[in-house]
Structure 1
Amino acid sequence: MIKNDISINKSDKENVMELTDLKVFLTVADQENFSKGADKLGYVQSNITNRIKKLESELEVTLFNRHPKGVSLTERGLIFYEHAASINKRVEEAIFAVREAENFGGKLAIGVVETLASNKFMNILSDFQKQHPNVSISLITGTSPKLLEMIQKYKLDAAFITGQTQTNLFEIEYTIQDVVSLVTKRGVKAEQTSKTWAVFPEGCPFRKVLVDWLDSNGEKPTNFIEVSTLDTLLNCVKSGLASAVLPVSVINKTQEIEFNSTPLPEDYRLMETHLVRRKDLATNKGLSSFIEKINKNKL
């Protein structure tokens, strides 16, 4: 008689971790709050709290620091987050891969720095959507550090980021080299440049170039107007309220009559923007087609 050495006792069955548990954990971690996590998932808070307690009991570690206003990940929680996010993403990829065998579709989350969200990029995206109407596109704008963090957390399939990137973690699929310029209102000479600067939030590489360039001239920027969109920034410059340091490509042909654009000195003149994705994830058909489209159309 052949004996089966593999058996599952009652306690093993009770300690089987479910994919739903991982989703609950990731959502609470992202929202930094049990109540907000429950609202996001459409559950009652007690359900979420009990699931997290069960998960911590199974792992025999504390995943969250509890605070009066919310929660934060412990050191062990941060480690678990990386693996849980990876598993969750791979399950999504597996589902999409099976569905793609019959129907080319699925979701595609792309991050874009504000300076790239130009008419040309939007036209390419529009053309891609017409060619692949079953692909659901999410477009997220943000600073390069924020977008890189989102890729690391498996929240983006790919992103356009400006400046240096970790080539050991990310695959660079496309690179744009742009000329960085001092942008002022039309008719304003370089020596008449406003000492007020319109800038994007901390983490924007063009903001850093501005600070470094002024520092090399013995100047310190004293007045920043921080904005979150390119349109608002350009309106600040067009009105004469502020000057800016930007890639010259953000000014399209119809806007050239409204701005002066003077390239910065050679040490600060060139900046690269890369389309990157995680190396450890295979590209699905949607992402592969998007990368191909970008390379073909040359941003």
Structure 2
Amino acid sequence: MELRQLNYFLKAKELLNFTEAAKALNISQSTLSQQIKQLEDELNVPLFNRIGKRIKLTEAGQLFGEYALQSINRANEGLLLLQDLKNLNTGKITIGVIYSMRILFARTLIQFATQYPNIKIQVVFGTTKDLLEKLNLHQFDFVLTFHEKANEPHLTYQTLLSANMVLVTAKKSSVAQKSSISLNEVAGLPLALPFSGSNTIQFFEESFSQKNLAPNICMEINDIPTLFEIVKTGRWHTILSETSLNDPDVVGIPIKGKNMRRTIMIISLKEAYEKKAVKKLCELLTKI
């Protein structure tokens, strides 16, 4: 059963004349008759009584007409919905973002939501490990995260930006005036770090280990604003990407070392269909 056949049937039902219906549809009468006959054969019931050149709906035709009209209307509604989707007048996107990108991402999100107010957006913040696991379960359209090992063949990687890793300290702390700081110096400071599941802490655990350093980690906290409150006392320090900084009472001191600059990527499933809304948001992100 095809939508075309339903359209032909409804026009014949409306005009009760195959010749007039064919003319209105801009097809030949034989084509119209053939298509309706195929529809009747598929339904295994006559929809019209043919009386010479006149036609009259059967009881089955009368009942079927209501459902045929609903099918056509629903199909047209679906077409309009797809057009709205294409024109970014509807749709939903779901994104996973690491905590350290929340400030830069929020700026882009505001810009996108202002331009496309009808797109529903769901943002989930988490660690790189958690976000990638959920991406693999098709729970995200894409994730925004640090990721040095871009070798999974089922994923697509788009480099967004590179960011320095910095020691975050209070403006009133004893090290706040330093222009840079070594990893050895950082290891000797009391640290409040992101919790152990985060990509950042794993990165620095490896960095400290490579230099045989034992950092003085006093706290692990899975919330950056709380880390800032701890750091602002001047008694503790933390290590974050420079993209995390937005508090006037703290400063970020670049950590010395050639590996202290990390890449943030847009990661998505290679075989997944890329929604137009996702493409537009990624375009805005690349302008950061």
| Aligned equivalents of 2:199, 2:186: Cα separation in 1 | 24
TM-score, normalised via structure 1 length: 0.60
Aligned to 2:253: 262
Give the match's secondary structure for 2:225: helix
Structure 1 residue 203, shift from structure 2 partner: 3.4
Structure 1 regions of 5+ residues with no counterpart?
1-93
> Residues 174, 219 of structure 1: CA spacing in aligned structure 2 closer, same or farther, 3 A cutoff?
closer
| Aligned equivalents of 2:80, 2:130: Cα separation in 1 | 27
CA contact (8 A) 1:96 1:106 kept: no
| Aligned equivalents of 1:172, 1:166: Cα separation in 2 | 9
| Aligned equivalents of 1:192, 1:290: Cα separation in 2 | 37
- Establish whether residue 212 from structure 1 lines up as the match of residue 196 from structure 2: no
> Residues 192, 221 of structure 1: CA spacing in aligned structure 2 closer, same or farther, 3 A cutoff?
closer
> Residues 96, 151 of structure 1: CA spacing in aligned structure 2 closer, same or farther, 3 A cutoff?
farther
Alignment coverage as a number of residue pairs: 200
- Establish whether residue 223 from structure 1 lines up as the match of residue 217 from structure 2: yes
Aligned to 1:188: 174
CA contact (8 A) 1:171 1:279 kept: yes
Aligned to 1:154: 138
Q: Which amino acid aligns with 1:147?
A: L
Give the match's secondary structure for 1:268: coil
Match of 2:229 among 200, 221, 235: 235
Match of 1:138 among 116, 122, 139: 122
Q: Which amino acid aligns with 1:232?
A: T
| Aligned equivalents of 1:166, 1:95: Cα separation in 2 | 40
Structure 1 residue 293, shift from structure 2 partner: 1.5
Q: Which amino acid aligns with 1:293?
A: L
TM-score, normalised via structure 2 length: 0.62
CA contact (8 A) 1:180 1:246 kept: yes
Q: Which amino acid aligns with 1:263?
A: P
Structure showing greater Rg: 2
Aligned to 2:147: 163
Decide which moves more: 95-104 or 281-290: 95-104
| Aligned equivalents of 1:250, 1:101: Cα separation in 2 | 34
Residues 231-276 of structure 1: CA deviation (Å, up to 9, x unaligned): 1112211112421111123223x62xx3343322224311111011
> Residues 200, 106 of structure 1: CA spacing in aligned structure 2 closer, same or farther, 3 A cutoff?
same
> Residues 218, 192 of structure 1: CA spacing in aligned structure 2 closer, same or farther, 3 A cutoff?
closer
Aligned to 2:266: 275
Structure 1 residue 97, shift from structure 2 partner: 4.8
Q: Which amino acid aligns with 2:224?
A: L
Give the match's secondary structure for 1:123: helix
| Aligned equivalents of 2:109, 2:218: Cα separation in 1 | 32
CA contact (8 A) 2:86 2:276 kept: no
Aligned to 1:37: none
Structure 1 residue 222, shift from structure 2 partner: 4.8
Match of 1:200 among 194, 198, 220: 194
CA contact (8 A) 1:184 1:193 kept: no
Aligned to 2:244: 250
| Aligned equivalents of 1:148, 1:168: Cα separation in 2 | 14
> Residues 174, 132 of structure 1: CA spacing in aligned structure 2 closer, same or farther, 3 A cutoff?
farther
| Aligned equivalents of 1:212, 1:262: Cα separation in 2 | 20
Structure 1 residue 292, shift from structure 2 partner: 1.4
Aligned CA-pair RMSD? 2.7
Structure 1 residue 283, shift from structure 2 partner: 0.6
- Establish whether residue 104 from structure 1 lines up as the match of residue 89 from structure 2: yes
> Residues 100, 221 of structure 1: CA spacing in aligned structure 2 closer, same or farther, 3 A cutoff?
same
| Aligned equivalents of 2:202, 2:155: Cα separation in 1 | 23
